[in-house]
Structure 1
Amino acid sequence: MSRLAEFRALEQQLAAQLAELENLKNDTGLKKEIEFENKLRALLAEYGVSLRDVIAILDPGTRVDLSPRSAKAPRKPRQTKVFKNPHTEEVIETKGGNHKALKEWKAQYGAETVDSWLA
Structure 2
Amino acid sequence: MSIIAEYKALEAQIAEQQKRLEALKGDEKLKREIEFESKLRGLLAEYNYSLKNVIALLDPQASKGAAAPKGARKERALKTYKNPNNGEVVETKGGNHKILKAWKEQYGAETVDGWLQ
Q: How far apart, CA to CA, are the structure 2 residues paired with 1:50 and 1:5?
A: 48
Note the aligned Cα RMSD (angstroms).
1.8
Q: Distance in 2 between matches of 1:33 and 1:9?
A: 33
Q: CA deviation at 1:64?
A: 7.1
Task: Please list every run of at least 4 consecutive aligned residues from structure 1 whose deviation after the TM superposition is greater than 3 angstroms.
Answer: none
Taking structure 1 as the reference length, the TM-score comes to 0.52
Q: Which amino acid aligns with 1:25?
A: K
Separation in structure 2 between the aligned mates of residue 64 and residue 55 of structure 1, nearest angstrom? 11
Q: TM-score, normalised by structure 2?
A: 0.53
Residue 76 (structure 2) aligns with:
none
Q: Partners in 1 of 2:64 and 2:25 — Cα distance? A: 32
Residue in 1 that maps onto 2:25: 25
Consecutive unaligned residues in structure 2, runs of 5 or more: 71-117
Q: C-alpha distance in 1, partners of 2:42/2:9?
A: 42
Cα offsets for 1:69-110 (capped at 9, x unmatched) = xxxxx9xxxxxxxxxxxxxxxxxxxxxxxxxxxxxxxxxxxx
Change (3 A) 1:38 1:64: farther
Residue in structure 2 matched with residue 36 of structure 1 by the alignment: 36
* Structure 1: runs of 5+ lacking an equivalent: 66-73, 75-119
Q: In structure 2, do the counterparts of structure 1 residues 15 and 64 end up closer, same or farther at CA, with 3 Å as the change threshold?
A: farther
